[in-house]
Amino acid sequence: MEAKLAYRHRLISEADVSFIQQLIAAHPTASRRQLSKLLCQAWNWVQPNGALRDMVCRGLMLKLNREGLIELPPVRQIPRNPLVERNRPTLVAVDAHPLTARLSEIQPLEFRQVRRTPEEPLFNSLMEQHHYLRYQQPVGENIKYLVYTGTRPIACVAWSSAPRHLGSRDRFIGWSAAARRQNVRFLAYNTRFLILPWISVKHLASHILGRMAKLVPADWAALYGHPVYFLETFVDPQRFRGTCYRAANWVLLGRTTGRGNNAPTKKATLPIKEVLGYPLCRDFRQRLGKIGD
């Protein structure tokens, strides 16, 4: 083995491998899951919100096991993968009577962050029924909002971790590759925005986006223990003009290449979309470009 190997931008030394070997030997009855948690605790390998980086740690141990550097205990169970074997959301009925009004007539609006709440199934159901991309199980950090007027839900907005690399965005921010790897967690990506089809209220969409710029940073910090300095989204120009984003002062950053993640060729295989961004503070470039603690 070389003096060091890298996993998820963490350098693993021969001493680290020796420590893992000793950890396994000291816990002969522990499962792979238990060993990964013990290693996270020993290394204080935690997320910004204090949760153990259990999945990342398990991936490291599997890599070392495959390379013959450690010997993990046999697999005891194969857990269900919710991303592969997921069921479609259960459909929930809501009041679908047409609502046509001025924005002032439906105020005040109530914004509810519904991730990990009893209202999350309603959010998933509305996305599944009424968004052209349907519902998609988010990966990584994410939050979900339902917007209400009175007791009626009228809109859904979803945010998740940002793509690791996005050319037009990265050029706009001007950060180095090292800063991007370290700080991409400080970006939030608007994955879904749905105003229910029976709602007709002029300026509602841009108003919601304006409110989101204040709510997302606070809720993200409360859930995940770190700030957000920049918002971004994709708009399919074949379907939408992105008028509400522009009205809410979002900036056109450029277009995607259409190659997707880890594309084996340089040919576009996906629809090319516009990339829009919204800085949440004036010094976002300095904050996102900073490397270190």
Query: Residues 109, 247: one domain?
Result: yes
Residues 103 and 162 in one domain: yes
Return d(Cα 83, Cα 50) in angstroms, integer.
24
Looking up residue 142, the CATH number of its domain turns out to be 3.40.630.30
How many Å from the N-terminal Cα to the C-terminal Cα in the chain?
30
> Given pLDDT bands bounded at 50, 70 and 90, which one contains residue 278?
very high
The verdict on 54 and 163 lying in the same domain is no
> What pLDDT is attached to residue 82?
53
Residue 64 has pLDDT above 70, yes or no: yes
Of 24, 47, 66, at which residue does a domain stop? 66
Mean pLDDT of 221-246: 94
> Are 280 and 202 found together in one domain?
yes
Q: Is residue 275 part of a domain?
A: yes
- 57 backbone dihedrals φ, ψ, rounded to 5°: -60, -40
Residue 1 has pLDDT above 50, yes or no: no
Quick one: pLDDT at residue 266?
A: 57
| Residue with the larger pLDDT of the pair 45 and 168 | 168
264 is a domain residue = yes
Q: Give domain status of residue 193, yes or no.
A: yes
If pLDDT is split at 50, 70 and 90, which confidence band does 267 have? low
Residue 72 lies in a domain: no
182 is a domain residue: yes
Identify the residue with better confidence: 143 or 5. 143
Provide the domain count of the chain.
Answer: 2
pLDDT for residue 235 = 94
* Residue 17 belongs to domain spanning: 4-66
Confidence grade of residue 25 (pLDDT, cut at 50, 70, 90): very high
Q: At 108, is the secondary structure helix, strand, or coil?
A: coil
How far apart are the C-alpha atoms of 58 and 72, rounded to whole Å? 11
**In a shared domain, residues 227 and 270:** yes
pLDDT score at 3: 46
Q: Are 177 and 222 part of one and the same domain?
A: yes
Place of tokens 């994410």: 142
Residue 61 in domain: yes
DSSP 144-176: EEEEEETTEEEEEEEEEEPPS--HHHHHHHT--
Residues 170 and 39 in one domain: no
| pLDDT score, position 261 | 53
Average pLDDT over residues 70-92: 74
In terms of domains, do 12 and 132 share one?
no
Query: How far is 69 from 22, CA to CA, in rounded Å?
Result: 12
* In a shared domain, residues 30 and 153: no
**Residue 267 in domain:** yes
Is residue 73 included in any domain, yes or no? no
Q: What is the pLDDT of residue 259?
A: 66
Q: Are residues 114 and 253 in the same domain?
A: yes
Give the predicted TM-score (pTM) of the model. Answer: 0.74
Say whether pLDDT at 14 is over 60.
yes
Q: Where are the beta strands (DSSP E) in the chain?
A: 4-7, 10-13, 99-101, 109-113, 142-149, 152-161, 187-195, 199-201, 230-235, 251-255, 274-279
